[in-house]
């Protein structure tokens, strides 16, 4: 028996977490066997790596270290949580997965999307999401939303507007080349409209 692997992606402030919550509730209401995880984190080791990655004090972290830490956290959650759950026939929802590294480190940090793709492969042993929802929004709009929520910025969010614009370009390029795996959703729509689109896409598949 094999389950289903669904990931959510987008720049910081794109509304992805709201949609994760709506999907969780929907799956619960329909009695589906699922787990929900987030990256970086989702394991004891991964949560410790997450603290290092997001700590504002770590100003001296180099892009290569950053990339390898994200990949290390990913390797751990893939082997410890995601693969066993899929093999047990569960639906796995992951808030961010390897497309985040391609867009943030590959494109925005300038490490190269091809280079990051190889490391993604190494970290996941080739595991790929069945469906990825990419919530597309301009960096300005996302920043305005984050401002409204009054959230303290973490180390990655502090990288600024131009950085988020580059992340967005990375995602758009990934979506174009994903052969249908990445579904781009206009994140300017209302949360209800967006969730309808997600439900429609998943109809008959979960
Ligand atoms: P998080 O608080 O989980 O943000 P969000 O709610 O937006 O998902 O912080 C994760 C941050 O790390 C976010 O800014 C995106 C970034 N990130 C990368 O740069 N590369 C990666 O591979 C992953 C998984 C996340």
pLDDT mean by block of 10 residues, the chain; 206 residues? 92 96 97 97 97 97 98 98 98 98 98 98 98 97 88 86 97 97 98 98 93
| Pocket mutation for ligand 1, best pick of 10, 12, 151 (most atoms within 8 Å of C-beta) | 12
The CATH fold assigned to 4-202 is Rossmann fold (3.40.50)
Nearest to 82, CA basis, from 124, 25, 137, 120: 124
Instruction: Give the contacts of 161 (CB within 8 A, at least 6 positions apart).
Output: 139, 140, 143
The count of other CB atoms within 10 Å of the CB of residue 99 is 25
Ligand 1: distance of its center to the CA of 41 in Å?
Answer: 10
What global pTM score does this model have? 0.97
Question: What does the domain layout of the chain look like in residue ranges?
Answer: 4-202
């Amino acid at each position: 028996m094999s389950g289903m692997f669904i990931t959510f992606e987008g720049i910081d402030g794109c509304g992805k977490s709201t949609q994760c919550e709506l999907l969780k509730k929907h799956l619960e209401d329909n009695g589906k066997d699922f787990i929900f995880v987030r990256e970086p984190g989702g394991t004891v080791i991964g949560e410790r790596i997450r603290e290092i990655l997001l700590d504002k004090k770590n100003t001296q972290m180099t892009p290569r270290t950053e990339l390898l830490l994200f990949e290390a956290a990913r390797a751990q959650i893939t082997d410890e949580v995601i693969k066993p759950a899929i093999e047990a026939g569960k639906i796995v929802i992951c808030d961010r997965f390897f497309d985040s590294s391609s867009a943030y480190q590959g494109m925005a940090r300038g490490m190269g999307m091809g280079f990051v793709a190889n490391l993604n492969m190494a970290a996941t042993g080739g595991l790929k999401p069945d469906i990825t929802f990419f919530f597309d929004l301009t960096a300005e709009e996302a920043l305005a939303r984050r401002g409204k929520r009054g959230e303290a910025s973490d180390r990655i969010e502090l990288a600024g507007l131009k950085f988020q614009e580059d992340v967005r370009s990375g995602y758009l390029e990934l979506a174009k080349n994903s052969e249908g795996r990445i579904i781009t959703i206009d994140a300017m729509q209302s949360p209800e409209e967006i969730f309808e689109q997600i439900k429609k896409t998943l109809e008959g598949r979960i």
